[in-house]
Amino acid sequence: MPQTDVDAAAAAAADPDHVAVLAFPFATHAAPLLAIIHRLATSSPNKHFSFFSTEQSNNSIFSIYKQNINIKAYNVWDGVPEGYVFSGKPQEHIELFMKSAPGSFKKAMEVAVSETGRKVSCLVSDAFFWFAGEMAEEIGVAWLPFWTAGPSSLSAHVYTDLLRETFGDGGVTGLEDELLSLIPGMSKIRIRDLPEGVLFGNLESFFSNMLHKMGRALPQADAVFINSFEELEPSITEDLKSKFKKFLSIGPFNMISPPPPVADAYGCRTWLDSQKLASVAYVSFGSVTTPPPHELVALAEALETSEVPFIWSLKDNSKVHLPDGFLDRTTSQGLVVPWTPQSEILAHRAVGVFVTHCGWNSLLESIAGGVPMICRPFFGDQNINGRMVEDVWEIGLQVEDGVLTKHGLLNSLYKVLSLDGGKKMRENIKAFKQLAKEAIGPNGSSVNNFIALSDLMIMSTSSKDEKVTSNTFLEPRFTSNQKSQENQHSYL
């Protein structure tokens, strides 16, 4: 036997635990899953983790992590048949991947099992993979799905059947402003705030079906875990704890291990240093979405008229839509840059408001920075997040009528940045920041939930003494030369 096989065999005999991790390889799903697996692997050095994703995803996320000898990446097929011609329909690549996924994951898992000599003892997956529950059942191990967005959107998917029974699935025209009082913790959410595909939009689309099946499958999981903290949405959290066998909030990840400082390529930090306390508007809609041209114009006009100093993260190819001369006229007022170190900017004392699409990761970064938001949501969970921001947490505003207009944005900027209006929002968001700090501190809810999650992965008796403690909770997860994470999240 070659030496490496001997080593593998010895390690497997010492601790046969083998956690298989199935990642959703699109948008910002795989990276946060790997972040948590990295922490678990660091705190359980004898357990082996196999991480399954597509080659492309795998290449982009693995390069940023410190090498862990007990995590191994496996590539799974992206589901695109040889010579396939894309018809251009939305989410086609996702649909192809999802159709092949159960088979591709099974095949890749067989390879990992034979290579390591360890049977799979626990299955962790993106919550999107409703079929992973059946896979886990077949091999007789625990299923631990991970939901990458917030608790309120998760609740919407778990309650889809009840919502459809109550409001019908034949369209909701006229009911858009009905409140969802029938769902615990959602009494301020309107039908119109729901993710599309629950009550409106194409209920038969591949994506709607996937989320529907997911909502039905999750109560069978051994635990559902999430990048949030219980104190942010206590009533929804409590309700989901009663729906699921276990519901474990183990975030916010961005506060547990903040990305290390990166080079200030566009001079944002230096520029911010020269600005007044809580005076700057930071504008970014994540890396997936750009508002339509007329909204970019409205935004530019509002910024210029308001004279509010700003940093605007805008891709170079969108600059053509800006009003003539805007960039020249605003050189001393603000910066328009193609990329920003978002969490650092939001943490800077000079930033007073974040104009955002309200994706989950951006929202958590805004809490970490204590910066109130102006939300212009686009799709997925962004509408429900925006509603929570304005009406439940009172840590920001939504743009009027859901679109950016010059007049509306001027109003919102004034409200958030003026001393009186903004003060309460700033206090509220700083209070959440404090709660988040406590959640990830000694005996905090997220720490205890992390330990509970880790315990669920210990299936074999031989490793029972390898208990995770809160000491390993804050293990740094990045290499120092890590490129900053993309800041966006929505479902896609």
Ligand X SMILES: *[C@@H]1O[C@H](CO)[C@@H](O)[C@H](O)[C@H]1NC(C)=O
Catalytic residue among 29, 38, 212, 357: 29
Contact 478, 345 (CB under 8 A): no
At a CB cut-off of 8 Å and minimum separation 6, what does 217 contact? 130, 133
Please count the residues of this chain forming the interface with ligand X, following the rule CB under 6 A. 9
In residues, how long is the chain? 492
Q: How far apart are CA 181 and CA 89, in angstroms?
A: 36
How many angstroms separate the CA atoms of 399 and 405, rounded? 8
Touching ligand X, residues 303-332 (CB under 6 A) = none
At 254, list the tokens: 């961005």
Catalytic site residue 126? yes
489 flagged as catalytic: no
> Which positions ≥6 away from 329 have C-beta within 8 Å?
304
- Tell which one of 63, 187, 333, 418 touches ligand X (CB under 6 A): 63
Would you say 58 or 446 has its CB closer to ligand X?
58
Any contact of residue 62 with ligand X (CB under 6 A)?
Answer: yes
Shortest distance in whole angstroms from residue 108 CB to ligand X: 9
- DSSP-derived letter for residue 190 is B
Nearer to ligand X, 28 or 306 (CB): 28
Distance in Å, CB of 30 to ligand X, minimum: 11
DSSP result, 315-326: -GGGGGGSPTTH
Of 159 and 478, the one with the shorter C-beta distance to ligand X is 478
Residue selected from 73, 364, 389, 416 as contacting ligand X according to rule CB under 6 A: 73
- In the numeric block, the tokens 């000898």 are attached to 69
Looking at the Cβ atoms of 63 and 166, the one nearer to ligand X is 63
Q: Which positions ≥6 away from 228 have C-beta within 8 Å?
A: 150, 151, 249, 251, 252, 364
Residue window 439-468: x/- pattern of binding to ligand X, with contact defined by CB under 6 A? ----x-------------------------
139: number of Cβ within 10 Å: 15
Q: Is 133 helix (H, G, I), strand (E, B) or coil?
A: helix
The active-site residue, picked from 15, 17, 126, 193, is 126
237, β-bridge pairs: none
Candidates 54-62, 204-212, 222-230, 239-247 — which segment interacts with ligand X by CB under 6 A? Answer: 54-62
Q: Which part of the chain contacts ligand X (CB under 6 A), choosing from 51-59, 257-265, 327-335, 462-470? A: 51-59
- Ranges within 279-308 binding ligand X (CB under 6 A): none
Nearest CB to ligand X, comparing residues 385 and 449: 449
Q: Is 187 in the site for ligand X (CB under 6 A)?
A: no
Side-chain-side CA neighbours of residue 366 (13 Å): 34
Closest CB to ligand X among 63 and 479?
63
For position 65 contacting ligand X by CB under 6 A, the verdict is no
Among 43, 54, 58, 254, binds ligand X (CB under 6 A): 58
The H or E element containing residue 104 is helix 92-116
Q: Does 75 bind ligand X (CB under 6 A)?
A: yes
How far, rounded to the nearest angstrom, does the alpha carbon of residue 425 sit from its chain's CA centroid? 23
For position 235 contacting ligand X by CB under 6 A, the verdict is: no
User: How many whole angstroms separate alpha carbon 435 and alpha carbon 228?
Assistant: 11
Q: What are the catalytic residues?
A: 29, 126
- Kindly list the residues in this chain that would bind ligand X in the complex (CB under 6 A): 55, 58-59, 62-63, 73-75, 443
